[in-house]
Every structure is written in C-alpha cells, then in structure tokens.
Amino acid sequence: MTTDSPVKYELLHVCKQSGARRGILHTPHGDIETPVFMPVGTQATVKAMTPEEVSSLGAGIVLANTYHLWMRPGHDLVREAGGLHKFMNWPHAILTDSGGFQVFSLSGARKIKEEGVSFNSHIDGSLHELTPELAIDIQTALGSDIIMQLDECADWRADRGYIKASAERTLRWLERCVKQHKNDAKQALFGIVQGGVYEDLRKMSAEQTITFDLPGYAIGGLSVGEPADIMYKMLEVVTPILPADKPRYLMGVGSPDYLIEGVIRGIDMFDCVLPTRLGRNGTVITSQGQLTVRNASYAGDFTPLDPNCSCYACQNYTRAYIRHLIKANEILGLRLTTWHNLHFLLNLMSEIREAISRDELLDFRDHFFSQTAAHKE
RNA sequence: GGGGGAAUACCCAAGUGGCCAAAGGGGGCAGACUGUAAAUCUGUUGUCACCGACUUCGGUGGUUCAAAUCCACCUUCCCCCA
C-alpha cells in the first residue's frame, strides 16, 4: 500500500549535530520542503488572508477541518464545487483534520461512544454523529491530499485509565478508518498516536499505530496545556518508534520554541492556529520574542513590528500605525499582524531547514533563544 | 416672561435614606491565546501609606444616628407655552 501512496516522504539530510531531518513531502498538489509549518484554515480559509497571499508567504500546504466543513457548508456542497482545492482557490496541498480536536475543544457539546462521537452542532445545536467511517467519507468528499483518522484528543489531565482507554479506542477507530479508506489513490491517510503524558501508553500507541503501515504518522494530544518538558519527553519516546521513511506530524504546535525543539526531536510537520490567532488578537511573534503591539507603549513607535523582518508588513508599516489600526478596529490591522506572524513562522522553518543542511541546528537554536531572551525584561 | 424636566466616575447610564466607592455598557489599561465555537476571552479602571484609610454623585447650606437619595437656595442645560 505504501508504495502506491499519493503522498511520499523523501529524506534528504539528517543534521549531524541534532539528528533533525530535512526532506521533501511529495503530494498530488506539489512538493513540500520539510520540516514544514502548515497554516490553519479551519473553515477553508486562513483567516484574514487570501490564498494568493498565503502562497506568496511560502506556504505549500494548509489545513482545513472536517467537522467545521461538515457542519457548514456541508461536504456535499464542497464536492459539488469540485473539491476543496477548487472551492477555496488553493492549488497547493491540503491536509484535513478529522474532527478529533473538536472532540476536545467542543467537549461540552459532545459524547464519545465506541461507535463514534455525537456532537451538538456549535452553530444550531442540532445533533450529529461523527464515526470513523463518516470522517473518511467527508474527507473523501473534500478531496484533501492528506486526511486524518478520527481520534480522540483527550484532556492531558484525565486519569491514566481514561487516557489508556481513549488511546486504545483511537486505535480501533484507526482500523475502521483504514478499512473505509480503501487504498484511495489520491489521498493519504495518516494515523494519530495518542497516550497523553504517559510514556508507556505513548509507546504502546505508536507501536500499534505503525502496524497499519500508513504513509504518515501524527502525534496528537500534546501542546494542550501540559508543561513543555513533558511534551518533549513524549516526543523523545514516540519519534524513535516511527519509521524513518514516513513523515512525522506533531499536531497543534506553533510557538517558535516548540517548533525548534520539535524538529530536533525528529518532527517533520506542524500546524497551529497560533500565528493567525495571535495576530488577530494584537500580538506579533518576532525575532525578539512576542510583542503585544496593541499595547499603549507602541503608540508612538515608528519602527517595524520586527526590525529583522523582510515581510510586507514590516517593510511598509510601523508599530504605531498597526496599533492604531487595531485600536480603531480596522481590518487591515489584523491582516498585517497575521501576515507578519505567518511570514515569521514560515521563514523560521526555512531557516531551520538550512541549519539542518549545515548540520548546525543546535547552534541555530541557541542563537535564536539568546535573541529572544536578550529582549525579555 | 410662564410652566415642566435634567445634572452620577473618562463617556453613556442605573441607583430616589443605611446592603454605595456607587449596577450595566462603552472607552482606557493589562493579561491570556498552540490539530480555531476566538477580529475572542479574562482581569482591571476615584485617591493613597491599597486586607485599611481618605475624598466623591452640579454648587452651597440644612434635616437625620446615617444623604447620590429628603429640604432650601444658587448655577448650568433641555423641552413646552408666550
């Protein structure tokens, strides 16, 4: 099955200093250099940006969400439109998340059973049941390049017994997803490793998940509030188990420190709402650390968001102007902050890839952190 | 000229004897945000020597144990009639 997969990982180089991987992810909608950051466009749009803008920032793949598009506008409509790529005018690769994260984030409006998850729609409260089979069918209709199994992203603070049961159910759901997927030639199904913050459960989940011989593996249920060192520990347990010829995707990670540390621990793919959400909420990620440009201290600051940035926002606008736009509730303000944040992370990944090629990723990390630390008060 | 109404914190606006340093919005200030129910949410917003004290509800004086709330006069604004 693997050899027929529409998505293939090509390993280019392993950093001699850190063990990090550089590679290429071949998809039906283009080749993607890894490690890669994938902007999130839940509702078939990266909020505040046009697809052309997202593409111009260097993104070759974005996320969309099964649950949200199922609820609205409905996957049949997207199929009728000619698939997600055509519907949203995005010619590059798309990865759809299965709705597993909504099991976590909409926990107040959902019930988990062996058969699947029943949701009360966040839009109108109507009851819907998402099963592993339906999650595949919806993603088939959407036509994304990479599809995710239905999993349960459990609360990391849940007790061990629950996490174990949840991870095992996620494996049973994977089996059903694989069966439903039927070796589709155009879409690659990724499995998701769960197991919370328990090393043995993570190990069990990883070992079981790879028996399905899938074109890629994700690590889920992390970066949901647990301490960073626990997350790093889980990665150190899981990535050595995952096959070297397949991409490894750490779901939901997007702060610069997590990205760098994740790559060092063998991760190839990341996605996160952080840059777009932070931007809309008036915060920018810079080479000197996070900066809440909405704050009064920048009212008269006529320097760029990040003095070391070459993005459109930083080349043309000042902190003072962008703060003014945000305070005045002008759309351009959050477009510019989003623009910058996406550029920053995509550029960071590009620098990480180059550092891997030079076998200097650890040096790069130390330099990066000293820059941000130097500006912390 | 006559009659009626209103003045509350940065703004709007509740409150008509003690539970009022004073509801609620807005604005301001700050914090949070990591497979997006998020252009959202949370906190804070009289002063200070801040688990306590002090000064406030147009102004002045009064009634009362107690006043943003009651009384008198004054000031300003709005509406109606001439």
Q: Is the CB of A258 under 7 A from strand B?
A: yes
Predicted pLDDT at A373: 79
* A293 contacts A306 by C-beta, under 8 angstroms: no
Q: Is the CB of A9 under 7 A from strand B?
A: no
B6 C1' – A324 CA distance, angstroms? 37
Tokens of A284: 């920018």
Q: Mind listing the pLDDT tens digit for each residue in A185-244?
A: 799 999 999 999 999 999 999 999 999 999 999 999 999 999 999 999 999 999 999 999
B29 C1' – A185 CA distance, angstroms? 56
Predicted pLDDT at A183: 64
* Overall average pLDDT of the A324-351 stretch: 98
Q: Residue A259: which nucleotide is closest by CA–C1'?
A: B34
* A149 contacts A98 by C-beta, under 8 angstroms: yes
Does residue A363 register a pLDDT over 60? yes
Predicted pLDDT at A107: 84
Give the model's confidence band at A2: pLDDT under 50 very low, under 70 low, under 90 confident, else very high.
Answer: very low
Catalytic annotation on A97? yes
* Overall average pLDDT of the A85-92 stretch: 98
* Overall average pLDDT of the A284-296 stretch: 97
Q: Nearest 10 degrees: CA dihedral of A104, A108, A111, A117? A: -40
The contacts found for A13-18 with CB under 8 angstroms, 24 or more apart, are A13/A356, A13/A357, A14/A356, A15/A355, A15/A356, A15/A357, A15/A359, A15/A360, A15/A361, A16/A359, A17/A359, A17/A360, A17/A361, A17/A362, A17/A363, A18/A263, A18/A264, A18/A356, A18/A361, A18/A362, A18/A365
Residue (of A265, A293, A276, A269) closest to A188 by Cα position: A269
Predicted pLDDT at A376: 62
Maximum separation of any 2 CA atoms in chain A, in Å: 60
* Overall average pLDDT of the A162-169 stretch: 98
**Average pLDDT for chain A:** 96
B58 C1' – A323 CA distance, angstroms? 38
Give the pairing of strands A269-272 and A36-39. Answer: parallel
* Overall average pLDDT of the A256-268 stretch: 98
Q: Is the CB of A95 under 7 A from strand B?
A: no
Give the model's confidence band at A182: pLDDT under 50 very low, under 70 low, under 90 confident, else very high.
Answer: confident
What percentage of chain A reaches a pLDDT higher than 90?
Answer: 95
Catalytic annotation on A151? no
| Phi, psi (degrees; rounded to nearest 5) at A69 | -75, -25
Does residue A80 register a pLDDT over 80? yes
**ipTM of the modeled complex:** 0.93
* A34 contacts A25 by C-beta, under 8 angstroms: yes
Q: Is the CB of A205 under 7 A from strand B?
A: no
Q: Mind listing the pLDDT tens digit for each residue in A94-131?
A: 999 999 999 899 988 899 999 999 999 999 999 999 99
Query: Could you give the 3-state DSSP secondary structure of residue A216?
Result: coil
Predicted pLDDT at A1: 46
Predicted pLDDT at A34: 98
